[in-house]
């Protein structure tokens, strides 16, 4: 798809088809379909119906905007995302975030599946992201500056401190142990070699995955506060004795996805009022 995503047209379409525009949007990654099932009064709008967005291709990604209530909080879920490894331009990868911003959501929470590099992070753990490494070596902000975006956004603290503490407090309230960590985004789709994992470890990465960073870069350029959670689906390559498959990643997403959902349900009322205040 060569034409840029029609952000204005897509947002207008969603505005006309959603019951309302919630303050909080949640972007869910590989296999975290549990969040969609947890929504009450759900209204689904498949990506394929939104003008200018392609349908998703990866198994485990259904590809829809879903409006509903998570507990008592109204949210808009972006279920499924576009990845660089699908051969799509970054403009498409970050298209939904630009659309959500244009629509008027005020804060974003991203979830993803990740491999754990930190020795204390194990499959099934939920990790609050505290910082990022962009090892995809390109930016979605290249080219003309988009309306509502900054040319040179500050990335010194890309994950909102207030949202991070709301997520930590929600975990404490639920009695769920969570760690915080640095997420490195690589391009994929091949999983890492053992030497690459050793390199990532020395660079300061606790987790490795193939998404989220371009989306947070765009959110930063638009001044939208972000939080992010990784669900550890596996120990990174070479750090476990077994080889790694996409099926294993999806399976762990299904097994531990409920913990992510409970955490988001608990945190949602406060995540929607974010912005460094806490």
Q: Give residues in contact with ligand HPA (CB under 6 A).
A: 113-115, 191-192, 208-210, 233-234, 236, 244, 249
The residue among 74 and 192 lying less far from ligand HPA, judged by its C-beta, is: 192
Catalytic residue among 107, 112, 234, 274: 234
Catalytic residue among 49, 139, 165, 246: 246
Q: Establish whether 210 is a catalytic residue.
A: yes
The residue among 107 and 201 lying less far from ligand HPA, judged by its C-beta, is: 201
Output the smallest distance, CB 48 to ligand HPA, in A. 25
Pairing, β 179-185 against β 107-116: unpaired
Catalytic residue among 61, 64, 149, 267: 61
Output the smallest distance, CB 208 to ligand HPA, in A. 5
Output the smallest distance, CB 71 to ligand HPA, in A. 28
Query: Residue 81: which of 138, 134, 28, 135 has the closest Cα?
Result: 28
Residue nearest to ligand HPA (CB): 115
Catalytic residue among 113, 114, 171, 205: 113
Q: Establish whether 234 is a catalytic residue.
A: yes
Beta carbons within 10 angstroms of residue 138's beta carbon: 11
End-to-end Cα, the chain, rounded Å: 41
Distances (CA, A) of 190 to 209, 237, 246: 11, 11, 10
Burial 234-265 (b: 16+ CB within 10 A, else e): bbbbbbeeeebebeebbebbeebbebbbbbbb
Residue 153 has phi, psi (to 5 degrees) of -70, 145
Output the smallest distance, CB 131 to ligand HPA, in A. 17
Q: Establish whether 203 is a catalytic residue.
A: no
Contacts of 273 by beta carbon, 8 Å cutoff, 6+ apart: 23
Q: Establish whether 83 is a catalytic residue.
A: yes
Q: Establish whether 246 is a catalytic residue.
A: yes
The residue among 249 and 260 lying less far from ligand HPA, judged by its C-beta, is: 249
Side-chain half-sphere CA neighbours of 225 within 13 A: 19
The residue among 156 and 243 lying less far from ligand HPA, judged by its C-beta, is: 243
The residue among 162 and 209 lying less far from ligand HPA, judged by its C-beta, is: 209
C-alpha Rg value of the chain to the nearest Å: 17
Q: Establish whether 30 is a catalytic residue.
A: yes
C-alpha span between 275 and 165 (Å, rounded): 11
Q: Establish whether 155 is a catalytic residue.
A: no
Q: Establish whether 62 is a catalytic residue.
A: no
Catalytic residues: 30, 61, 83, 85-86, 113, 210-211, 234, 246
């Amino acid at each position: 798809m060569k034409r840029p995503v029609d952000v204005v047209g897509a947002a207008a379409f969603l505005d006309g088809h959603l019951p309302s525009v919630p303050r909080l949007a949640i972007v869910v990654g590989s296999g975290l379909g549990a969040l969609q099932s947890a929504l009450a009064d759900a209204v689904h709008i498949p990506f394929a119906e939104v003008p200018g967005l392609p349908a998703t291709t990866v198994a485990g990604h259904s590809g829809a905007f879903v409006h509903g209530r998570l507990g008592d909080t109204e949210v808009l879920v972006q279920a499924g995302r576009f990845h660089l490894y699908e051969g799509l331009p970054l403009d498409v990868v970050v298209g939904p975030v630009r659309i959500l911003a244009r629509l008027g959501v005020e804060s974003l929470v991203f979830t993803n599946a990740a491999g754990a590099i930190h020795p204390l992070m194990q499959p099934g753990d939920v990790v609050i992201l505290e910082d990022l490494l962009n090892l995809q070596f390109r930016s979605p902000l290249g080219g003309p500056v988009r309306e509502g975006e900054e040319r040179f956004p500050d990335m010194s603290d890309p994950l909102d401190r207030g949202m991070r503490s709301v997520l930590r407090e929600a975990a404490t309230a639920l009695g769920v142990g969570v760690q915080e960590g640095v997420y490195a985004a690589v391009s994929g789709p091949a999983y890492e070699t053992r030497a690459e994992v050793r390199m990532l470890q020395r660079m300061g990465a606790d987790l490795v995955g193939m998404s989220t960073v371009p989306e947070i870069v765009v959110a930063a350029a638009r001044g939208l506060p972000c939080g992010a959670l990784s669900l550890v689906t596996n120990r990174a390559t070479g750090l476990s004795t077994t080889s790694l498959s996409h099926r294993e990643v999806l399976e762990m997403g299904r097994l531990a996805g409920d913990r992510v959902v409970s955490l988001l349900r608990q945190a949602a009322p406060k995540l929607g009022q974010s912005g460094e205040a806490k």
